[in-house]
């Protein structure tokens, strides 16, 4: 590969690929299929095209509503998100509608139709109606960019087939991003469906750019050696090359020792733990994360105000809790999360108190210990009540509140349920039921299926 390869050169490959289809007015769905490591660059391309820096004629809209396997829920979420564009109180510099009005580009005031059925076809029609209210867009498309389809969810193919069957009108284009390793959108290329599969070399480009920035001309510099060894180690983990990984981890520890920096010394075992976790070797992952915990605890015992040590300790404890949970060692994982909650309480780190009790509560919930689970969920939302309301309304506070309410209704008296409902109204606002009892929250409250190996 040429030494001049860079992130910029790879980005322009994406731009060239889009340009090859931009003028084609027949297609309605474009699916980017990319490797995991290329995902961030495609996301950045779409982000830039949505901004004033974009170079193409299409008007890009990026939806945040994620696909979780249920078509009706996804359709509702897309519609609700679209309607929110015209409801939310947002800073003037981000208010698209206000900007259009201020610039005199609106032919007439627009108010979305809130009465029609929340189907994709109705959403496309509504967006075209909005488009008709804006001057100068007659020959330009609205490109609706959907979020990356996550791992461990159902395929999205049927949703797209239904959308095509109902028809995507001229002026509307859908853009999706799928991963080559775990494809969720399996549509055949056609006049209406185009596939964009860029041939990127992001690993090499990143290496070149990082070498330029870190002074690759001095290969014996300890900082440069550590950075390069870190990249080599994580590449082994990504490829699940465990035989080589053992050697590279040892080199990483050696590079860490040369730096003689306490923060690097504490976090290196955590990096090694993550690398082994990616290969599925949980035993080695636990071995290394325990090293990180011990080192950060030692630093915290010397200096209680050492925020770096506390941050490494928190991350290491959460990593250990996740490993133990994945191994179905729920009771051991509970002890880890509750240790974090206790330390975070002493330090007044309310977000970590909230999150740790939420995880502890969910593990009790999976163990069918409803009383203990309820107590943890109540502790979680009580801690979360000290956060700003905008954080509560868009964080894991909602999941804890959903399960607290579910269990309270199941095992407590009506008076207790009413008290909890009043608190949720106070902490989340008058629309708390929509936030806590929506379809997405109900799906999240389902216990994982039991296994005969549990």
User: Structural domain boundaries of the chain?
Assistant: 9-201, 215-326, 328-449
3-state secondary structure of 132: helix
Question: Both tokens of residue 361?
Answer: 């509560």
Q: Output the pLDDT for position 217.
A: 41
The domain at 9-201 falls in which architecture?
3-Layer(aba) Sandwich (3.40)
> pLDDT tens string for the chain (454 positions)?
344 556 777 788 888 889 999 888 899 999 999 887 778 888 888 888 887 777 888 889 889 888 888 899 999 999 998 988 887 665 555 566 676 666 667 788 888 899 999 999 999 999 999 988 888 888 889 999 998 776 557 789 999 999 999 999 999 999 999 888 778 899 999 999 999 998 877 666 656 555 555 444 444 566 677 877 887 888 788 778 888 999 999 999 998 888 888 888 998 999 999 889 888 899 999 999 999 999 999 999 888 888 888 999 999 999 999 999 989 999 999 999 999 999 999 999 999 999 999 999 999 999 999 999 999 999 999 999 999 888 888 788 998 999 999 999 999 999 999 999 999 999 999 989 988 886 556 555 555 544 323 3
pLDDT of 105: 72
Contacts of range 40-46, beta carbons closer than 8 Å, 24 or more positions apart: 41/7, 41/10, 41/11, 41/14, 41/200, 41/202, 42/14, 42/177, 42/198, 43/148, 43/177, 44/11, 45/11, 45/14, 45/15, 45/18, 46/145, 46/175, 46/177
Per-residue model confidence (pLDDT) at position 321: 94
Q: Please tell me if the domain spanning 9-201 has the same topology as the one spanning 215-326.
A: no
**CA-to-CA dists, residue 343 to 304, 325, 358, 433, angstroms:** 11, 20, 15, 32
Pick among 3.30.70, 1.25.40, 2.40.50, 1.10.1060: CATH of 215-326: 1.25.40
- The phi and psi torsions of 52 (rounded to 5 degrees) equal -60, -15
Query: Edge-to-edge, what's the strand order for the sheet holding 29-34?
Result: 59-62, 142-145, 172-179, 29-34, 193-196
Q: What is the pLDDT of residue 391?
A: 84
| pLDDT in the model for residue 192 | 94
Q: Phi and psi dihedrals of 35, rounded to 5?
A: -75, 155
CA–CA separation, 202 and 140 (whole Å)? 32
**Whole-number pLDDT of residue 284:** 93
Residue pair 170/163 in contact (Cβ under 8 Å)? The answer is: no
- The answer to whether 328 and 366 have CB atoms below 8 angstroms apart is no
For 361, counting Cβ atoms within 10 Å of its Cβ (0-12 exposed, 13-18 middle, 19+ buried), the class is buried
What's the pLDDT score for residue 354?
A: 95
DSSP assignment of 85-123: TTT----GGG-HHHHHHHTT-BSS------SS---HHHH
Q: Say how many C-beta atoms besides its own lie within 10 A of residue 408's C-beta.
A: 21
């Amino acid at each position: 590969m040429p030494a001049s390869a860079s992130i910029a050169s790879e980005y322009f490959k994406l731009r060239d690929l889009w340009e090859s289809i931009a003028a084609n007015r027949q297609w309605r769905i474009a699916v980017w299929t990319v490797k995991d490591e290329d995902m961030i660059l495609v996301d950045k391309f779409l982000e830039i095209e949505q901004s004033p820096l974009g170079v193409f004629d299409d008007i890009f809209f990026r939806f945040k509503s994620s696909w979780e396997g249920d078509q009706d829920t996804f359709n509702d979420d897309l519609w609700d998100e679209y309607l929110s564009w015209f409801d939310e109180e947002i800073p003037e510099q981000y208010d698209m509608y206000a900007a259009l009005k201020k610039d005199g580009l609106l032919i007439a005031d627009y108010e979305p139709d809130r009465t029609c059925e929340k189907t994709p076809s109705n959403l496309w029609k509504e967006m075209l109606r909005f488009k008709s209210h804006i001057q100068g867009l007659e020959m330009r498309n609205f490109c609706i960019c959907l979020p990356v389809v996550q791992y461990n969810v159902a395929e999205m193919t049927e949703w797209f087939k239904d959308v095509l069957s109902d028809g995507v009108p001229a002026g509307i284009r859908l853009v999706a991003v799928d991963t080559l390793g775990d494809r969720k959108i399996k549509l055949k290329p056609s006049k209406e469906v185009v596939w964009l599969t860029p041939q990127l070399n992001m690993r090499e480009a990143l290496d070149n750019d990082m070498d330029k920035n870190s002074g690759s001309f001095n290969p014996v510099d300890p900082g440069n050696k550590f950075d390069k060894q870190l990249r080599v180690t994580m590449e082994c983990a990504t490829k699940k090359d465990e035989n080589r990984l053992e050697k590279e981890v040892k080199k990483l520890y050696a590079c860490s020792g040369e730096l003689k920096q306490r923060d690097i010394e504490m976090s290196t075992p955590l990096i090694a733990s993550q690398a082994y976790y990616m290969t599925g070797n949980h035993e080695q992952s636990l071995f290394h994360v325990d090293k990180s915990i011990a080192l950060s605890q030692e630093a915290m015992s010397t200096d209680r105000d050492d925020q770096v040590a506390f941050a490494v300790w928190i991350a290491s404890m959460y990593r250990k809790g996740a490993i133990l949970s994945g191994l179905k060692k729920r009771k051991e994982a509970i002890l880890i999360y509750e240790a974090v909650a206790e330390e975070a309480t002493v330090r007044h780190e309310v977000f970590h108190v909230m999150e740790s009790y939420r995880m502890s509560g969910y593990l009790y919930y999976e163990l069918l210990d409803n009383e203990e689970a309820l107590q943890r969920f109540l502790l979680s939302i009580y801690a979360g009540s000290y956060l700003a309301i905008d954080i509560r309304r868009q964080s894991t506070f909602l999941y804890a509140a959903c399960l607290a309410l579910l269990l309270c209704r199941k095992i407590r008296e009506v008076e207790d349920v009413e008290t909890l409902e009043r608190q949720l109204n106070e902490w989340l606002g008058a629309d708390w039921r929509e936030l806590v009892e929506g379809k997405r929250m109900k799906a999240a409250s389902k216990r994982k299926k039991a296994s005969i190996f549990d």
